């Protein structure tokens, strides 16, 4: 039985991807920080291997993933799903917060690739799915830190795809828009009350951001629906480089970024009631 690794697997999209992989007869190393949530997932199947790991700790990644591969064999599917959004104006996000978000959203992804890619190359087989976001294509006010990590993840994925293709390893970007999960609530928690600071010169913009995010809930995809795209990417004999998981309005926005960026900026500013 082959081994798949899914990060951020304790809830939301990662959990659904892990479940679907197990349903297809795969052994899944479900990686997350919450032991209790991983144990609940493990109770669903003996083919779930709970892996408690803080992806912001590179030494722990080496130790834990190294032991996992030594015990269970090489990984043939890596899904880099773990990540979080840090909201706020660029001016108001301190350096440590920036650094932690890049550690989780980007550097840990690269680190895991470095661990599993050698055996994939040797076997001339493997799939790496990097979960980006529509924020990896369009950056908006008060979402710049998160978008920076996702733009970087997309750039890394493009380079990695060309590097590993000659060895039979496919690199795929999964690009969700709004998701019907607790991602927004987690983002607000990660932002440390910044959006509630009435003394901030950006407070009016923060209120507009919250209103805009609330309005987008009606367009949110279920994690199950997005996980189906991930499975399609993993199982396809000729996978696409990118799988977009959002509707026509966001596709128009991405097209505007390329064709009329000033217009897109005005549209976004009106949406968050910022200018």
List Cα–Cα distances, 109 to 116, 117, 155, 256, in angstroms. Answer: 11, 12, 13, 29
Residue 52 is classified by DSSP as: E
- The DSSP element (H or E) to which 84 belongs, if any, is none
CA–CA dist 231, 227 (Å, integer): 6
Q: Is 30 within 8 Å of 58 (Cβ atoms)?
A: no
C-beta neighbour count of 105 within 10 angstroms: 27
Give the total residue count for the chain. Answer: 275
Among candidate residues 146, 202, 243, 246, the one labeled active-site is 146
146 has catalytic annotation: yes
Using the CB atoms, write b or e for 150-160: b if 16+ within 10 Å.
Answer: bbbbbebbeeb
Q: How far apart are CA 194 and CA 183, in angstroms?
A: 17
Calpha distance 11→84 (Å, rounded):
13
* 237 exposure class (CB count in 10 Å sphere: 0-12, 13-18, 19+): exposed
Distance between CA atoms of residues 134 and 153, nearest Å: 12
Find the distance separating the first CA and the last CA of the chain, reported in whole Å. Answer: 56
What is the CB-side half-sphere exposure of residue 182 using CA atoms within 13 A?
9
Residue 28 pairs in a beta bridge with 4, 48
Active site residues: 146
């Amino acid at each position: 039985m082959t081994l798949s690794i899914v990060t951020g697997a304790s809830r939301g999209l990662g959990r659904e991807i892990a479940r679907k992989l197990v349903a297809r007869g795969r052994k899944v190393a479900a990686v997350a920080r919450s032991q209790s949530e991983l144990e609940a997932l493990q109770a669903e199947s003996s083919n779930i291997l709970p892996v408690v790991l803080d992806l912001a700790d590179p030494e722990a990644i080496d130790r834990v993933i190294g032991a996992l591969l030594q015990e269970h064999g090489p990984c043939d599917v890596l899904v880099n799903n773990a990540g979080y959004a840090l909201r706020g104006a660029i001016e108001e996000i301190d350096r440590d917060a920036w650094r932690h978000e890049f550690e989780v959203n980007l550097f840990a992804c690269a680190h895991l690739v470095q661990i599993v890619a050698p055996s994939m190359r040797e076997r001339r087989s493997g799939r790496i799915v990097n979960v980006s976001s529509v924020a990896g294509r369009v950056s908006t006010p008060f979402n710049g830190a998160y978008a920076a990590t996702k733009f970087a993840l997309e750039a890394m994925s493009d380079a990695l795809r060309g590097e590993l293709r000659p060895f039979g390893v496919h690199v795929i970007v999964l690009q969700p828009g709004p998701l019907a999960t607790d991602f927004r609530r987690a983002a607000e928690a990660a932002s440390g009350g910044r959006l509630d600071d009435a003394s901030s010169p950006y407070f009016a913009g923060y209120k507009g951001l919250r209103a805009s995010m609330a309005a987008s809930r009606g367009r949110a995809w279920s994690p199950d629906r997005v996980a189906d795209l991930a499975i399609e990417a993993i199982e396809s004999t000729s996978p696409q480089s990118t799988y977009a998981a959002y509707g026509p309005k966001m596709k128009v926005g991405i097209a505007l970024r390329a064709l009329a960026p000033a217009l897109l900026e005005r549209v976004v500013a009106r949406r968050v009631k910022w200018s």
